[in-house]
Amino acid sequence: MIPVIKESDCFNIKAIVNTLSPAEKTHEVSQLMREINRATILPDEQVADDIIQLNSTFEVKDISSKKHSTLPLPYLRWPM
């Protein structure tokens, strides 16, 4: 599946990553950037409100326990 990301979220994430020191650019940061670089970038107004994006919450279900959880995907300002 090709990820889809809003232009503003893409810009903000890249801006944060560009401020990181080499020591902070972990394997996970590299993975995130690979996903962003292969993503389809859409103008903000073309991303529907029911799509998970920064500053949204979403519900997940554990298949084995059937438990539902609501999780946030916050946008943290950098530097904190």
Residue 19 located in a structural domain: yes
Structural domain count of the chain: 1
Residue 33 located in a structural domain: yes
Residue 13 located in a structural domain: yes
Helices 27-38, 7-18: axis angle to 10 degrees equals: 150
Q: Pick the more confident residue, 50 or 79.
A: 50
pLDDT digits 0-9 by tens, 48-65? 888 888 888 999 999 999
Q: What is the DSSP letter of 39?
A: S
- Give the domain range for residue 9: 4-73
Residue 78 located in a structural domain: no
pTM of the full structure: 0.74
| Residue located via tokens 């990553």 | 17
Inter-residue long-range contacts of 71-79, CB under 8 Å, 24+ positions, other chains counted: 75/9, 75/12, 78/15, 78/16, 78/19, 79/19
